[in-house]
Amino acid sequence: MIKKGDDIGRLIVECVKDQGDDVRDSDVIVVAQKIVSKSEGRVVDLKDVVPSFFAREVARRTRRNARHVEVILRETSRIVRMQKSHIITQTRHGFICANAGVDRSNVSGRSHVVLLPEDPDESATAIRTSIFQLSKRDVAVIVSDTFGRPWRLGYVNVAIGVAGMNPLKDYRGTKDLFDRTLTVTMIAVADELASAAELVMNKADGTPVAIIRGYSHPGGNGSAKDLIRPQELDMFS
Amino acid sequence: MIKKGDDIGRLIVECVKDQGDDVRDSDVIVVAQKIVSKSEGRVVDLKDVVPSFFAREVARRTRRNARHVEVILRETSRIVRMQKSHIITQTRHGFICANAGVDRSNVSGRSHVVLLPEDPDESATAIRTSIFQLSKRDVAVIVSDTFGRPWRLGYVNVAIGVAGMNPLKDYRGTKDLFDRTLTVTMIAVADELASAAELVMNKADGTPVAIIRGYSHPGGNGSAKDLIRPQELDMFS
């Protein structure tokens, strides 16, 4: 049960020790957005929210709670689609997802909602730094959240914050097995790592951290913003 | 180097044995679409293709090879977007991806393209059956391909064929840590497993099969078609 001010990096180092292990160089540590947001106090009590006229209008059209919509809009830079009760927005960080990432599950108090971290890359960096200070181990950190997708059913875990690695593996210029330049040139390995981690984190199970060991990540020090497709290259927003 | 008629299931069992191991019950075996397609003879020599008037028109507008476009259109049920040189279509199976999944990389012969399997679920089932017959082990099989996504840069590996498990893990009705019904209810675990596998398969490395061991998959006997969002529930097609 994470509360505001908790040092997630320290908790990870301690929990790993409690399991008779230690974090290692090159570990990729995937941390669920929910606990990061809680540690940063990104929780809002809807009782304290006064919805704007626009929020009330959106709430009416989507048959949603106006205070909840108000919080969503505060996190929104652009409404991408509104249909039935669905509100798909671009968040202040640039991610496109439902409800600007504002979520009601796994938070105590019926009237509370959890927002995405203000800067998930910075959150990842803070966790990475804290782990380094305590263990002298150079890990990569991914802050993850589960997003829906167009065209495909089911949510998958993706990276919304990254530190200590590049989120994209770049095959540009490499040749395929028949010495022809590859057409698929960039793999979003940070998203694939987040997805791999979800398989052991399990949404409902309260396992908010997973360590991926033995994967040779691309190194570098990228940002989850590298994963955001610029609008002018996007055919679907 | 896979050729038409090769028994992928048998090759997997033999390769695992060669590595001093055996397939086990509940292993999830992820197989790259490319080798499945090759084993099924889903390779077309563009020299043999006569483009239709429509294919030539699309090729002109996208500045692409008309014979390649012709093959793409033969695999297409619906063109979702065409912009610059990009052709995003819904395939005959219902997947939405670039070029109806018709790909030129990792195939011998400059004029050859590889198509998706005719029925990737059936391909997965055939591999699963072959493995069962040779080893008596009850595995799950995922046929995977790398797809681009709207909004996010980089390709990720997803499931296009599934056998021996349900591709979605259903949390409907389950409660979160605070006894509130979860809002995110379905996780596309088959896609997450495919993504996890990509991390060791590496596009260019010629590692077309990965075995995921120790994951408790949802069981059942679903289809990758369960992952296709019906068009009436989709806001982006």
Query: Which pLDDT score is estimated for A183?
Result: 64
| Residue B229 forms part of a structural domain | no
A87, A111, A135 - which closes a domain: A111
pLDDT by residue (tens digit) across A50-105? 999 999 999 999 999 999 999 999 999 999 999 999 999 999 999 999 999 999 87
B42 CB burial (10 A radius; 0-12, 13-18, 19+): buried
CB-CB under 8 Å, A195 with B192: yes
pTM for this predicted structure: 0.95
Cβ atoms of residues A42 and A118 within 8 Å: yes
pLDDT by residue (tens digit) across B119-159? 999 999 999 999 999 999 999 999 999 999 999 999 999 99
* pLDDT higher than 80, residue A180: no
Query: Which pLDDT score is estimated for B47?
Result: 95
Strand pairing partners for A210? Answer: A30
- Look up the domain containing B70 and give its range: 43-113
Cβ atoms of residues B192 and B217 within 8 Å: no
Q: Are residues A28 and A76 in the same domain?
A: no
Question: Does the CB of A84 have a partner CB in chain B at under 8 Å?
Answer: no
| B232: number of Cβ within 10 Å | 5
Q: Tell me which of A35-39, A70-74, A233-237, B68-72 is least confident.
A: A233-237
Query: Which pLDDT score is estimated for B171?
Result: 84
| Residue B125 forms part of a structural domain | yes
Query: Which pLDDT score is estimated for B183?
Result: 64
Q: Are residues A35 and A66 in the same domain?
A: no
CB-CB under 8 Å, B186 with A203: no
Phi and psi, residue B153, nearest 5°:
-80, 155
| Residue A11 forms part of a structural domain | yes
| Residue A222 forms part of a structural domain | no
| Residue B235 forms part of a structural domain | no
Q: Are residues A98 and A148 in the same domain?
A: no
Q: Are residues B128 and B190 in the same domain?
A: yes
Q: Are residues A153 and A199 in the same domain?
A: yes
Query: Which pLDDT score is estimated for B106?
Result: 63
Tokens of B7: 């028994």
Interface test with B, best of A145, A149, A229 (most B CBs within 10 A): A149
The model's confidence at residue B83, banded by pLDDT at 50, 70 and 90, is very high
Phi and psi, residue B164, nearest 5°:
85, 5
| Residue A224 forms part of a structural domain | no
* pLDDT higher than 80, residue A174: no
Interface test with A, best of B65, B152, B237 (most A CBs within 10 A): B152
* pLDDT higher than 80, residue B24: yes
Q: Are residues A75 and A17 in the same domain?
A: no
Q: Are residues B142 and B200 in the same domain?
A: yes
User: How many folded domains does chain B comprise?
Assistant: 2
Q: What is the CATH classification number for the domain harbouring A60?
A: 3.90.1660.10
Q: What is the CATH classification number for the domain harbouring A123?
A: 3.30.1330.100
| Residue B228 forms part of a structural domain | no
Q: Are residues B22 and B81 in the same domain?
A: no
Question: Does the CB of B183 have a partner CB in chain A at under 8 Å?
Answer: yes
Query: Chain-wide mean pLDDT for chain A?
Result: 94
Per-position DSSP letters for B128-143, written without gaps between them: HHHHHHHH----EEEE
Closest residue of chain B to A171, computed from CA coordinates = B204
Residues of A within 8 A of B158 (CB-CB) are 152
Do the bridges between strand A169-170 and strand A28-32 make them parallel or antiparallel, or are there none, so unpaired? unpaired
The model's confidence at residue A112, banded by pLDDT at 50, 70 and 90, is very high
pLDDT by residue (tens digit) across A193-232? 999 999 999 876 779 999 999 999 999 999 999 999 999 9
Question: Does the CB of A160 have a partner CB in chain B at under 8 Å?
Answer: no
Q: Are residues A22 and A83 in the same domain?
A: no
Q: Are residues A200 and A94 in the same domain?
A: no
Cα A64 to the center of its chain, rounded Å: 24
**Rounded to an integer, what distance in angstroms lies between the CA atom of residue B231 and that of residue B237?**
7
Query: Which pLDDT score is estimated for A181?
Result: 67
Q: Are residues A100 and A197 in the same domain?
A: no
Q: Are residues A125 and A157 in the same domain?
A: yes
The model's confidence at residue A177, banded by pLDDT at 50, 70 and 90, is low
